[in-house]
Amino acid sequence: MYRSNTCGALRASDIGSEVILSGWVHKVRDKGFVAWIDLRDRYGITQLVFDQERTSKKLLDQARELGRETVIQAKGEVIERASKNPNIPTGEIEVLVTELTILNNSLLPPFTIEDETDGGEDIRMKYRYLDIRRNPVKNKLIFRHKVSMEVRKYLSDQGFIDIETPYLIKSTPEGARDFLVPSRMNEGQFYALPQSPQTFKQLLMVGGMDKYFQIVKCFRDEDLRADRQPEFTQIDCEMAFVEQEDILNTFEGLTKHLLKEIKGVDVEEFPRMTYDDAMRLYGNDKPDIRFGMQFGELNQVAQHKDFNVFNSAELVVGIAVPGAASYTRKEIDKLVDWVKRPQVGAKGMVYVKCNEDGTYKSSVDKFYDQEDLAKWAEITGAKPGDLICVLSGNTNETRAQLSALRMELATRLGLRKSDEFAPLWVVDFPLLELDEETGAYHAMHHPFTSPKPGQLELLETKPGEVKANAYDLVLNGNEIGGGSIRIYDKEIQATMFKHLGFTPEEAKAQFGFLMDAFQYGAPPHGGIAFGLDRLVAILGGQETIRDFIAFPKNNSGRDVMIDAPANIDEEQLKELHLKLDL
C-alpha cells in the first residue's frame, strides 16, 4: 500500500493515527534541528516534520537532501501542528515521519510548481505534465470533469442514449477543411476525421434511437486562436419527433441544470432574438446581453448634411458608452487608434460627449448643431455623462467594427462580469449565404438544415431570403451551442443540394447513403451540439479554452510537448502509397 490517506484528507480528528502518505515534494524548509516538507498530491498538501529529538539523524539528513518534485512515501504519526496554517484544510496537523522512502527522484523543474509560476506559456506547454501539477490547471481539469458528469447525468435522466460514432469517415464538404487519413488497405483512398457526427446522428434517428447524445472529439483543419483548437469536444445531441420548441426547451433545461449544479446560479429567462435583430442591435450573431450599448442607426439624422464621410456611407451607427463623457481627448484618441488597427479596420471614429448640463461636444461640431446631436443621443439612448461613439461605412463591415469596439469598451469598463450569466437564443438565421466573389450560395449552418415551415417555395425564387429552422445558444457573448431542425425528406434534401451547386451525381457520391436512408421511413428530427471546451471555460469564468484541455496545441497547431505533427518515415510513406511534393 503506497498510501493510507491522501495529502488533503487529514484533520485534527486524525491526531494519534499512524498514516502512510505518498506524493511530490513541494517545499523543504530546514532550520538545522528540524526540517519540514510540504508533501503534495492532487488532493492537497500535508506538512511532514523531522526533528532531531524525535527523528533519527539518518532520516533527518535524508529529508534535507530531498529536491523539489521528488516522489516520496512517508510513514508516521499525525500530531498537532505547533504553528497552525488556517489557509489550508490540513493546517491544524502535521505528520511526524518515522519512515521515508524515495520512490523516484526528479530533475529540477524548468519552472516553479506554484499557483503563480515563473514559467511562460511556451515552456509550460512543452512540459505540460508539470503544468498540470499546478493548482490552476489541475482545478480546471477537475472542473471540466464535473461539467461533463453533470451533462451525462442530465441527458441520461432525460432518456438520451450515449452512442459512439466512427472517427474514420468519408470526407464531405461541411465548410472547414478535413483532416485526412490515408488508407493502407485501399490504395490512393483516404478517410477523413469528422468535423462533427452530423450524418451519423441523423442515421441514428432513422434507426429509431430517438434521443442520442455523445461527448465526442471533432476535428477541423483551420486557423487557430484562443478559443479554437484543431481537435475539440462537442456535446452532440439529436432527437426525433420534435419541433424547434421541443429542442429549445430541452437544452434550456440542460443549461439551467449546469448553471445551478456547477455555479449555484438560478437563471430562468432565456430570451429569444432573431438573427436580423442581433446583427442590427449588436453587430454580431452572438451578442453579450449582460450590458447595454445597443446600436443606434443614425442615417436619417446624420446624413444629408455637409459631412461627406457620413453621406457616402451605407451605414452610420453609434453606441452610447455609459459614464465615458469624462474621457480626455488623449483617451478618446487612443480609442480612435484602437478602431483603426488592422484587426478592426475602421477608418476613424466620430464622438459626441453628452455633458451633464445637457449640452453636447462633438468632433464634428462644425457640421452638426446641438439639435442634431440631441437626436443622436435619443437614438443611441445616451444620457448626460455618456459618450457616443459613431462609425460609418459598408453595413456589414461597420457593424463588425462597432461590435468589436462595444466589447472592448465593456471589458475596459468592467461590464463583462464572469460571475454573471446571460443566456440567449438566436433564431431565424438565413438558410443560405451568398459568396460575393463566386455568386454561389452555401449553407450558413450545413446542408441538412431545414428551411422554416412555409418557406420552401422561396428557394426557387428568392433563396437569399429563406430563413433556416436553426438556432444558436449564446452565453455571455459566446456561442456555446448551435443546431437545427433537419431535412428528413429525400426530395427536399435533393432540392437543397441543387441550390448549393451540387449536381445530382455529386450529391449521390457525397451523400447517397443519407439520401437512401431517407427512403426507409426517416422521422422528423433535429438536434444541437454544444462546444464543451468553450462551455466549460465560460462556466469557469474565462473565455480561453486552452487551460481547460489536458494537452492543447499552440496557435500553430503544434503539440510542442510531443513535437507533433512530425515527419513520417520513408517506409511508412511507401506503405501508404504516398509521395511528398514540398
Burial group, residue 375, by CB count within 10 angstroms (0-12, 13-18, 19+)? middle
Q: What percent of the chain has pLDDT over 70?
A: 99
Between 507 and 107, residue with greater pLDDT? 107
pLDDT at 230 over 80: yes
479 among the known binding-site residues?
A: yes
Domain assignment present for 111? no
pLDDT at 226 over 80: no
Does residue 395 sit in the same domain as residue 318? yes
pLDDT of residue 5: 98
Centre a 10 Å sphere on the Cβ of residue 68 and count the other Cβ atoms it contains: 16
CA–CA distance, 377 with 302 (Å, rounded to integer): 12
Does residue 501 sit in the same domain as residue 484? yes
Return the half-sphere exposure (C-beta side, CA atoms, 13 A cut-off) of residue 360. 23
Residue 497: strand, helix, or coil: helix
Rounded average pLDDT over 512-523: 93
174 among the known binding-site residues?
A: yes
Domain assignment present for 376? yes
Task: Give the model confidence (pLDDT) of 337-381 as tens digits.
Answer: 999 999 999 999 999 999 999 999 999 999 999 999 999 999 999
Domain assignment present for 157? yes
pLDDT of residue 174: 59
**Backbone Cα Rg of the chain:** 30
pLDDT of residue 18: 98
94 among the known binding-site residues?
A: no
Centre a 10 Å sphere on the Cβ of residue 341 and count the other Cβ atoms it contains: 10
CATH number at residue 351: 3.30.1360.30
Task: Give the model confidence (pLDDT) of 522-556 as tens digits.
Answer: 999 999 999 999 999 999 998 789 989 999 999 88
pLDDT of residue 455: 86
From residue 310, alpha-carbon distances to 375, 390, 391 in Å are 16, 10, 9
Between 504 and 161, residue with greater pLDDT? 161
> Helices (H) and strands (E) in the chain — how many of each?
17, 22
Domain boundary pick from 413, 447, 467? 413
Domain boundary pick from 393, 413, 433? 413
Rounded average pLDDT over 260-267: 96
Domain assignment present for 278? no
Rounded average pLDDT over 296-314: 95
Does residue 408 sit in the same domain as residue 427? no
Return the half-sphere exposure (C-beta side, CA atoms, 13 A cut-off) of residue 340. 10
Average pLDDT, whole number, for the chain? Answer: 94
Does residue 404 sit in the same domain as residue 472? no
221 among the known binding-site residues?
A: yes
Task: Give the model confidence (pLDDT) of 411-436 as tens digits.
Answer: 999 999 999 999 999 999 999 887 77
**Helix (H), strand (E) at residue 319:** strand 315-321
pLDDT band at 457 (very low <50, low <70, confident <90, very high): confident
Burial pattern 87-106, b for ≥16 Cβ within 10 A else e, equals eeebbbbbbebeebeeeeee
Q: What is the 3-state secondary structure (H, E, C) of 433-466?
A: EECCCCCCEEECCCCCECECCCCCCHHHHCHHHC
Residue 501: strand, helix, or coil: coil
Domain assignment present for 172? no
Does residue 143 sit in the same domain as residue 268? yes
Return the half-sphere exposure (C-beta side, CA atoms, 13 A cut-off) of residue 173. 12
Domain assignment present for 527? yes
CATH number at residue 40: 2.40.50.140
Does residue 504 sit in the same domain as residue 430? yes
Domain total in the chain: 3
Does residue 369 sit in the same domain as residue 463? no
DSSP calls for 87-139: TSTTTTEEEEEEEEEEEE--PPPSS--SSS-S--HHHHHHTHHHHTTSHHHHH
Domain assignment present for 343? yes
CA–CA distance, 59 with 50 (Å, rounded to integer): 8
Nearest in space to 256 (alpha carbons), one of 265, 245, 243:
265
**Helix (H), strand (E) at residue 508:** helix 504-518
Does residue 442 sit in the same domain as residue 507? yes
CATH number at residue 486: 3.30.930.10
pLDDT at 41 over 90: yes
Task: Give the model confidence (pLDDT) of 474-501 as tens digits.
Answer: 999 999 999 999 999 998 888 888 888 8
CA–CA distance, 376 with 300 (Å, rounded to integer): 10
Length of the chain: 582
CA–CA distance, 493 with 517 (Å, rounded to integer): 12
Rounded average pLDDT over 171-189: 87
pLDDT of residue 218: 96
Rounded average pLDDT over 1-12: 97
92 among the known binding-site residues?
A: no
Does residue 142 sit in the same domain as residue 263? yes
Rounded average pLDDT over 449-461: 87
Q: Which residue has the cell 469564468?
A: 541
Does residue 253 sit in the same domain as residue 339? no
Q: List 468's β-bridge partners, or say none.
A: 451
Does residue 223 sit in the same domain as residue 155? yes
532 among the known binding-site residues?
A: yes
460 among the known binding-site residues?
A: no
Does residue 240 sit in the same domain as residue 152? yes
Task: Give the model confidence (pLDDT) of 183-208 as tens digits.
Answer: 999 999 999 999 999 999 999 999 99
pLDDT band at 438 (very low <50, low <70, confident <90, very high): confident
- Contact by Cβ (8 Å): 362, 368: yes
pLDDT of residue 510: 87
Domain assignment present for 472? yes
Task: Tell me the one-letter amino acid at 574.
Answer: K
Residue 73 sits in which domain range? Answer: 12-104
pLDDT at 507 over 90: no
The region of weakest confidence among 146-160, 302-316, 387-401, 437-451 is 437-451
